[in-house]
Amino acid sequence: MRHSAIHPTSLAGRYRDQVGSKAQRRAARERVTAYHEARLGELIAHVEQAVAQFRAGELDAFEVDTVIHQYHRATQKLWVFCDQSGGQVETTAHFIDQLDDSCEPIDWWQRSRPTRE
C-alpha cells in the first residue's frame, strides 16, 4: 500500500487559513503582552505590600519569603498562560477578550496559593 505524499506548501497554506493575518497575530501578541504586564503589576503589588509590612515590623522575613514564593508560583502560571512561543497567541488573546467581556478575571494570586497552609 502506497501513502500519498502531501506537499509541504499545501500544509502551510492550510495552516495560514486557520490563523489570522500577520497584522492580526501582531495585534493578538500586543493584547497578550498588555494583559501579561498588567497582571504582573498586580502580582508585584503583593510583594511591595509585604516588603512595606516587613519594614514597618508587621511581618517577619519568613512571612515575606512566603509571599515572594507565592509571587514566583503566580508568575509561572501567568507566564504559561501568556506564553507566545507557539501558534496559540490568537486563541489566548480571544480568551483574554472574553474574560474582559465577562468581568470575571483570573486571580493569579489566588491560583498560586499552596493547597495546604
64 — pLDDT class (breaks 50, 70, 90):
very high
Query: Grid coordinates in use for 88?
Result: 496559540
Of 71, 83, 70, the closest CA to residue 36 belongs to 83
Which of the two residues, 46 and 2, has the higher pLDDT score?
Answer: 46
Note the pLDDT tens digit of each residue in 100-114.
777 778 999 999 988
The reported pLDDT for the residue numbered 101 is: 77
- What global pTM score does this model have? 0.76
**CB burial class (10 A; 0-12, 13-18, 19+) of residue 7?**
exposed
pLDDT for 51: 98
pLDDT band of 19, cuts 50, 70, 90: low
pLDDT in the model for residue 20? 66
Asked if 40 and 75 touch (Cβ cutoff 8 Å), the reply is yes
Q: 21: which residues sit within 8 A by CB, 6+ positions away?
A: none
